[in-house]
Amino acid sequence: MFNRFILIVVFVPLAVILIALAVANRELVAFTLDPFNPGNPKLTLNLPLFIFLFVALAIGMVVGSLATWVKQGRYRKLARQRGVEAENLRQAVSRVPAAPQGSAPGTALPKPTA
């Protein structure tokens, strides 16, 4: 239900805006990689403006995703460490022998050594 709501409220208007942007910017635009000789045909792309806009949007999304992933690395590392610690504790608890019937609760664990 929530996914359908997000689809309708966010993605449908975004798609309409992007389609309108693409239709309004169909003219060919020269994109030159050589700032000293702009007329160089080997380093010039002639494509519709909306393609350049969509490529810039995609590059921005990839760079932003990578920046977020790198920034959250310490939290992933901490989660891995805590997962290993939890697994070690689970194994330690499973190795402790069960308390005999009729014994007081809490006496099944061995006493710590100094």
- Token code pair at residue 109: 């664990």
For the chain, what is the total number of helices (H) and then of strands (E)?
Answer: 4, 2
pLDDT at 104 over 90: no
Q: What is the pLDDT of residue 60?
A: 95
Q: What is the pLDDT of residue 102?
A: 58
pLDDT one-digit tens code per residue, 11-64: 888 889 888 988 888 899 888 888 888 878 888 889 999 899 899 999 999 999
Residues shown for the chain: 114
The mean pLDDT value of the chain amounts to: 86
Structural contact between residues 47 and 29, judged by C-beta atoms closer than 8 angstroms:
yes
At residue 37, φ and ψ (nearest 5 deg) are -135, 80
Looking at the chain, the whole-number percentage of residues with pLDDT higher than 90 is 36
Identity of residue 71:
K
Rounded distance, CA 7 to CA 34, Å? 42
Q: Report in angstroms the alpha-carbon separations of 13 from 19, 23, 49, 99, 101.
A: 10, 15, 21, 64, 67
Q: What is the pLDDT of residue 63?
A: 97
Confidence of residue 97 (pLDDT cuts 50, 70, 90): confident
Q: What's the predicted TM-score (pTM) here?
A: 0.61
